[in-house]
Structure 1
Amino acid sequence: MSVEHVRSLERGLAVIKAFGADAPALTLTEVAGRTGLTRAAARRFLLTLCELGYVRADGRHFSLTARVLDLGYAYLSGMALPDVAQPHLERLSARVGESCSVSVLDGVDVVYVARCAVSRIMTVSITVGTRFPAHATSMGHVLLAGLDPDDQADRLASTDFTSFTGHTVTSAEALRAELATVRTRGWALADQELEEGLRSVAAPVRDRAGRVVAAVNVSTHAARTTLERARAELVPPLLDCAGLISADLAR
């Protein structure tokens, strides 16, 4: 560990990350358990975060406040990508009648940075900031396929390959073969890998140097969109959209 590493900052961030959609309110004991901190240390961090306005206390329970969003928006506000992508997403969504999104790679997850939703097709709500495992998503496949071989190998080695459905890719070997296909073909298709009924196609967004910096996708329900229709009717406008976003980013 680097001598520049600030352990207290790491622990404070761990306390913030202990909260989530599955645990919006936690007791002191639960925070300690989720972070590996002692109760005394967890209490100090929680009280500090309360004083700073990032956490609120309600009896025995603690929860995050809206101020935590400032941390994420500081990152997004420094990115040109969401502003550039949003109008293109809206036009793509209007053209195909489906929800469209843009995401970037963060470790072994994809993180949504822009979205245009027309209907809710998943059991969980997707918003800017939502993250999903890259190995189970079309955008994740595009982003992983765009990495150099060493970086890709490191990410696959760090992936736990959780199986979400009977269609999820659950081994590095199988995913590596799929990524090679995606890289050659120029787009990815995920057929019910993250959730039953969810089918999506994705394409790469590139910077001026041609590097894959993001992915754009179209999501649909398998009951209304066959694989053949996805390939024939969703992929061409998707590729057009990815090209337009890439061109705007390069300006």
Structure 2
Amino acid sequence: MQSRSSLSRSTAHRLLKRLVHAEYVEHDLVTRSYRPGRVLTEIGAALSRDAHVHETDRAVLQRLAAATKETVHLVALRATNVIFLDSVEGSQMGSAIGRVGRTLPSHATAAGKVLLAALTDAEVKAIYPVELIRGGRGHSSVPRVDFLAELELVRARGYATNDGETEPDVSAVAVPLLDRFGFARAAVSVTAPRSRASDAWMRKTALHAARITAGETLS
């Protein structure tokens, strides 16, 4: 790494320690070599499975980020978790940081909710076979019956929200990204500080997101 960059030995060592701590790389103590860690492995696997999504929809993220000035993510469902495949960071002061490569509990994220809402209740119950769904901020839990009721609301209005359920100061709104057959293949999520994410902002942003993902032009 040092030989291929202009970094000093000490700087390269500190950077690698941070990458190891964040699970982007692993350090083999026997060979003293480094290899891709859990996070990079998950990103590679996700992008391999969802290459067509990643390649064709970055323009959607860019348009929505320009319209909202907030950070926009492309998210895929992985059963009880979602993985963030791509992001375009917002231009406003205090915009959320991109989460590419991160996984979060599906039931606690706007993107996860909107993708789970595309499934039947029976399919959701297969993913969550117990009556109490655990996870989310502070290891909180939610009764499955309440979560199914929330998904019914998501289906009715066409978007899902997250009001500090994964991070205390962050809110998000998400809409499904549909394929040509009308099936949700991913979600587009707009993330903002809770101080800017009023109910009116959620509704307006959801409308922008729905129109942009459908290929419409905002006036």
Normalised TM-score (structure 1):
0.66
Residue 242 of structure 1 aligns with an amino acid whose one-letter code is T
What are the residue-to-residue correspondences of 1:97-246 with 2, within 5 Å? 97-118=69-90, 126-157=98-129, 160-164=133-137, 170-231=142-203, 233-244=204-215
Q: Which amino acid aligns with 1:157?
A: P
SS of match in other structure, 1:219 = strand
Q: By how many angstroms is 1:178 displaced? A: 0.4
For residues 110 and 131 of structure 1, the distance between their equivalents in structure 2, rounded to whole angstroms, comes to 5
- Contact 2:172–2:189, Cα closer than 8 Å, also in 1: yes
Measured in 1, the distance between the counterparts of 2:68 and 2:191 equals 10
The Cα of 1:129 is off from its aligned counterpart by: 2.0
Residue 156 of structure 1: CA displacement?
2.1
Matched residues, number: 193
Structure 2 regions of 5+ residues with no counterpart? 1-18
- Measure the CA separation in 1 of the matches of 2:172 and 2:33: 34
Q: Secondary structure at the match of 2:186?
A: strand
Distance 1:160 1:127 in 2: 23
Instruction: Give the direction of change, closer, same or farther, for the CA distance of 1:63–1:148 in structure 2 (3 Å limit).
Output: farther
Shift of 1:241: 2.2
Map Cα deviations across residues 26-51 of structure 1 (whole Å, 9 max, x no partner).
xxxxxxxxxxxxxxxxxxxxxxxxxx
The verdict on how the C-alpha distance between 1:87 and 1:121 changes in structure 2, with shifts beyond 3 A counting, is same
Q: CA deviation at 1:163?
A: 4.4
Q: Which moved more, 1:73-82 or 1:133-142?
A: 73-82
Is the Cα contact below 8 Å between 1:82 and 1:114 reproduced in 2?
A: yes
Identity %: 25
Question: How far apart in 2 are the matches of 1:67 and 1:89?
Answer: 27
1:84-140: per-residue Cα shift (whole Å, max 9, x none)? 111110111011110001111112111111211127656xx6432211100100001
Q: Contact 1:169–1:175 (CA<8 Å) still a contact in 2?
A: no
SS in 2 for 1:65: strand
SS of aligned partner of 1:225: coil
Bigger fraction of residues in helix: 1
Whole-angstrom distance in 2 between the partners of 1:190 and 1:71: 24
Distance verdict in 2 for CA 1:62–1:23, change over 3 Å = farther
Pair 1:204–1:21, CA change in 2 (3 A): farther
Tell me which structure has the larger Cα radius of gyration.
1
RMSD value, Cα: 3.2
Work out whether 1:92 is the aligned partner of 2:64: yes
1:82 offset after TM fit, Å?
A: 0.8
**CA 1:120/1:83 → structure 2, altered by over 3 Å: closer, same or farther?**
farther
1 CA distance for matches of 2:165 and 2:46? Answer: 29
